[in-house]
Amino acid sequence: MKRWIVLFLLIAVSGSAVLYWLTGFGRPSKEDSASVRLATVSRRDMGSFVQATGVVKPQVGAEVRVGARISGRVECLCVSVGQRVKKGEVIVRLEREELEARVRRAEADLAYAQANLELIRRGSREQEIRQVQQEVREAEAVLQFDLAELERKEKLFSQGFVSWEELERARREAEVARAHLQATRERLRLIEDRYTPEEIAMGHWRVEQARALLREAQVQLGYATIAAPISGIIAQVSTQKGETVAAGLQAPTFITIVDLDRLEVDAYVDEVDIGRVKVGQKATFTVDSYPGREFEGEVTAIYPKAILLDNVVNYVTVISVGDHGGLLKPDMTASVRIFLGKKKGVLALPREAVKREGRLKVVYVWHGGRAEKREVVTGWRDGDFLEIESGLKEGEQVLLEPPSPEEGGR
């Protein structure tokens, strides 16, 4: 009796298994197969490029900071921020009165030295001696007056009644008067004595010295007029009319001029991509201020020294900027694409279909409802697509996602 019960149970279990299989349970359904995401290997034109972030910068020499080479009060500030200027246009004038006086004094000293040389050449006469003696007395009187005036200014300065500039002016006038007296006395000595060849040579030297001092005074006067060294836009002004600028070891700069027609982009290219970037390659970039506008350029230089940005090694790659219609300004952030080249009719797949397994790149080819793992070699990348150099044929279908155990994946 027990034997019949066991036999009946075995027949029931076997029948249930057959029925389960025939009804479709326990095997992949058509709906499951249809839900697999596939991509077809096809031919397409591809362009490879490197992406980088950069900053708009003036070219070397396109941004100039202008300052004064001498100290003085700003008499005329001839420009304002945003104003366009041309090269050579006057932008600042410093007060010139004292500098012009120095030029006139130097001209007089030169004339005096030339006359003295002529006197040495001609020899002396009694009338000339008396005349020079009178000049000595006058020079002594001028010096005494200037020394007294200097003493008075020093007292007033200590009491706060005169400025430091007035005190310095009084000191210079006393020094000039003392030098003039010494020169006049020397002139008297020369015309009273016999003139030697050495004295004649000294006369020539004094003429050359006076001529050099005149040239120096003229140069200093020229420094009072400051002109634009380049054409461009006034980007910054940090002084005002009436303000005194003081020239020290380094000339003070108070006006910045930028030539907006000479801009470039410094793109920061990752070390992974820099080996593919070459001078002469075309590039495009956009800026946040004009997201719908694409600007064109070209790689003009690659800096050999690396820089670290967020602990990533980058190389500055300079991109030229063509005609931008005055839209670009320094320090704008740029999104850059550097084009490496174009290929036509190459086999390609979406990037998501190619998986990495260690150092290998693999895909899962879908065939007869099963997935076959296959190694591939990729080339260029163009957006969301990868070039397939070997491992696949045109028309084959590839899974976009790794297969499930039921789908194979051997």
Report whether pLDDT(45) > 70: yes
DSSP letter, residue 321? -
Q: Once rounded to an integer, what is the mean pLDDT over residues 254-258?
A: 92
CATH class of this structure's domain 63-95+225-258:
mainly beta
Q: Say if residues 67 and 251 touch (Cβ distance below 8 Å).
A: yes
pLDDT for 341 equals 80
Report how far residue 343's alpha carbon sits from residue 46's, in angstroms, rounded to the nearest whole number. 5
Q: Give the pLDDT confidence score for residue 49 in this predicted structure.
A: 84
- For the chain, the average pLDDT equals 84
Note the pLDDT of residue 165: 82
Q: Does the structural domain 49-60+260-340 have CATH classification 2.40.30.170?
A: yes
With a cut of 80, say whether residue 101 has pLDDT above it. Answer: yes
Q: What is the pLDDT of residues 61-97, one digit of tens each?
A: 899 999 888 888 899 999 999 899 999 999 999 999 9
Is it the case that residue 13 has pLDDT exceeding 50? no
Q: Which of 80-84, 122-126, 206-210, 381-385 is least confident?
A: 122-126
Residue indicated by tokens 């002529």:
118
What is residue 395's three-state secondary structure?
A: coil
pLDDT higher than 70, residue 2: no
pLDDT at residue 310 above 50? yes
Identify whether the C-beta of residue 199 lies closer than 8 Å to the C-beta of residue 190. Answer: yes
Distances (CA, A) of 57 to 170, 185, 251, 305, 317: 50, 63, 24, 18, 12
Would you state the pLDDT for residue 87? 93
Q: Which fold has domain 29-48+345-407?
A: 2.40.420
Per-residue confidence (pLDDT) for residue 34, from 0 to 100: 53
Q: What is the DSSP letter of 137?
A: H
Residue 315: is its pLDDT beyond 90?
A: yes
Residue 405 CB burial class (10 angstroms; 0-12, 13-18, ≥19):
exposed
Give every strand in the sheet of 253-258, ordered side by side. Answer: 63-67, 253-258, 232-237, 84-85
Dump pLDDT digits (tens) for 125-174: 666 778 888 999 999 998 899 899 888 888 888 888 878 888 888 888 88
Beta strands in 272-405 (DSSP E): 282-287, 290-309, 312-320, 333-350, 355-357, 360-367, 370-375, 377-382, 385-390, 397-399
Least confident of 4-13, 37-46, 95-104, 244-253: 4-13
Look at residue 302 and tell me whether its pLDDT is greater than 70.
yes
Q: What is the pLDDT of residue 334?
A: 95
